[in-house]
Every structure is written in C-alpha cells, then in structure tokens.
Amino acid sequence: MDYNTQRSKLIFPEYGRHIHKMVDYCKHIPDKDERTRNAYAIVALMGSMHPHLRDVPEFNHKLWNHLAILSDFELDIEWPFELPKSKELVKYPEMLEYSDNKIGLRHYGKNIEKMLVKINDVENEDERNALITQIANHMKKLFFTWKKEHVDDKVIFNDIVKLTRGALSVPEGVVLQEGFDMYANVHQYQSGRQKKKKPYKKK
C-alpha cells in the first residue's frame, strides 16, 4: 500500500497532490514554450479552486508565486510577474529587546522603585514626606495582596530603605493603614451578596 505518510510532504496541501505532481512533470518538459503553456494551465487549474478570486489581479499574482514555490524556483518559463526571492520567504522576525533591569522586590513591581527614585528629587521636605507616606500605604496593600496576611509597618519601612539603598526613609510617627481590615470588609460584602441570592425555582 502507498500511504501519504510515505510520500513527499506537500508544500501547499490545499492544492492537493495532483497539482504538485503536475508541477514536477512541468519542470522536466524539455521545450520551454511547452513548459510555459503547461504552467499557465496549472495556474488556471489552481485558480479554479477559488472561482470568485480567479480574475483578481492580486490573486493571480499570488497563484504564480505559489507555482514558483511549488517548483522550488526551478521552473524555467516566461513568468508574467516578477518572482519573489527565496530568501524573502524564509525571513525571520527581528529579535525583541528585553529589559535587563532586575526588580529588587517583585511583589511591589518596577513602578514603585521608579516612583521612589523620583521622590528623591523633590526639594520640598513636607511634600516629599507626604509622597513617601502615600507610597508606603500602597506598598502595604500590595504586600497584603501578595501574601494575604497582616504585615508590620516596620517591614514596609525597611523595604523602602532597601529599595532606595538608604536614600529615603519614612518619617517618624507615621502609621500605615490596615490592609487586613479592608480585605475583611470586601470578603464580608461578597459573602453577604451570595447569601442574598434567591434559590432558583422551576416553573
């Protein structure tokens, strides 16, 4: 038995194996004019598979390009269009540039580090302390979202010193908001909504 798995791989499976065999036969025709006539017949047969696009110039050009690819660019005929280069068909996309910047504490994210760097440029001391306090509160919420447990304010304060390498510190006497209470209220609200749902009754 002759199975498809034992045959050569089809370049364009949508055209079928018969079109591939016709192109191989056309390549070995000794007369160039005869090869050209056969090539036109093959392209017409390929276009008949899409009759609504057969007469569109762009689609016709595409069919000739497919014929060139099927023949591995070895078909010597009078081509009606300029052929694409084989190297252009195997053109790989350019490599993306990834950032090499490492994040000190991933659960806070890179934006927190950037904001702390910008705060260091603020000259007004009161404004700088207010910004540090706001970011510290936000960091506590992020920490709680990541670990889902209460965190001491000293941990957040030490993390700010660590991220800024000692350039910034939280002002004395600052007490951060409790993220745990906020989470408890949200959880209580969601569970209350679930209890209020009425059971489904069949009519």
Mean pLDDT of 131-146: 87
Q: Tell me what percent of the residues of the chain surpass a pLDDT of 70.
A: 80
**pLDDT tens by residue, 13-70:** 888 888 999 999 999 999 999 999 999 999 999 988 887 776 677 888 888 989 988 9
pLDDT of 37 reads 93
**pLDDT tens by residue, 146-173:** 887 788 888 888 988 888 888 888 888 8
Global pTM reads: 0.45
pLDDT of 88 reads 66
Q: φ and ψ at 170, to 5 degrees? A: -75, 135
pLDDT of 200 reads 53
For 17, residues 6+ apart whose C-beta sits below 8 A from its C-beta are 4, 7, 10
